[in-house]
Structure 1
Amino acid sequence: MKMDQLRLRNLGAFLTVATLLSGALFLPVYPAGAQALLEQEGTLRSAEGEHTFSGEAGQSVIITLTSPDFDTTLTLLDSTGAELAYNDDYARNLNSAIVYTLPTSGTYKVIARSLSGTGGSYEVVVADATAYDQAYFRGIAARQEGNYEAALTAFDEAIQLDSSNPAVHLDRADLLYALAQQLRPEEREAIVQSYQRAIELYEQAGDTENAQLIREQLMYLETPY
């Protein structure tokens, strides 16, 4: 299996590698002005892609895996092959992402897979994690651990850093909704506001399907017990 070698830069540099799970790699896609760190064609023999990158100890990275063709899964391994992190779905969609602070300097491996085993095109991006990325990830991790107070604090921080992402508003609303019976009226109103903001942002992005689903959830919330 062909492996792509990526070197991660420290100050906001990033790399995208678009591939076919069964076929040739696409050319990398990156914004104008960005320097391509890898342009390579190859063939993958199975519904799995391996990519490596070099990072520094203490460096926080975000690794994203997106595909228009299949439900993705993403795994991060250290130089010995030990699993450091895994993700299936992230930010309210079927794509995957990992936010991770590298423990040591050296080479790391990213494994891109199709959950169903089907082939198709995909794109892997390795970049420095922004403050928003780190705050949003802390919120998700804290919620999964059952620490709702820490999760709410992290989601609020993420919204202050970037209020344009509908997923964080929806995650915040769902978190508050789970605690709705324990909340005061003004806190319940905060749930409504977060849902409304998520609806607005999905509609602005042209995602009317998700906007309608959230609107139905909001109607249920506003229905008296």
Structure 2
Amino acid sequence: MNNKRLLLIDDDFELAELLTAFLGMHQYTVDCCYDGQAGLKQALGHSYDIILLDVMMPKLNGFEVLKALGDQHKTPVLMLTAKGDDNDRVLGLELGADDYLAKPFHHQELLARIKAILRRIAITQELHNQPNSEKTLQVNGVELNHATHQVHCYDNPLELTSTEYQVLNILMNRQGEIVSKSQLSEQVLGRKLAPFDRSIDVHVSNIRRKLLPYCEVDKIKTIRGAGYIFLLGEQT
């Protein structure tokens, strides 16, 4: 296993020290920043495999850091949120975070989330390495180019996070079929869907929001109590 490089942005010095030691034992190199402003500068100036981002910090909070990073910043972000604060979780996902983990958390749970994100990146790389004939997926005006990881809707470019890309890829590959939230959670997030977990809902909502400026109607239909369908053609 090659060492993966993580950026931890968190003002809790003790936690940062513990996580650096723990993740180091699992072949992860961790750089730490203790306020949002320093973390943003570090994230923009260096290459990382994952960013671990706390919400409540001095100078810039986690949401402000996410906004400053913007859609075009491709490094996956795992938000560290307050336990039970669903609003923070949803807002973080809406702003482009790939996943979240509530504090306090077990170190093994953090490790599992990191591995799940890295698996998603590996899947994207596998798609990139497919034969040329399989590198493009086109359904109902939407095109995924697995070679470049680019998404277009009627030739208009979209910026999707790695998680959103994987969700859309699964829905488009199963075009016209119902895909349950449980299936999406297990295949994309690498975990079983927990009660009241809105992660998949928010990721699908983000995809819709990015598609809709170029579509007359929604291309992803919600089947209440069942899941989502990527439509084969425009429906009203």
- Higher share in helix: 2
Q: TM-score by structure 1 length?
A: 0.36
Structure of greater Rg: 1
Q: TM-score by structure 2 length?
A: 0.35
Q: Which has the bigger relative contact order, CA under 8 A and spacing at least 6?
A: 1
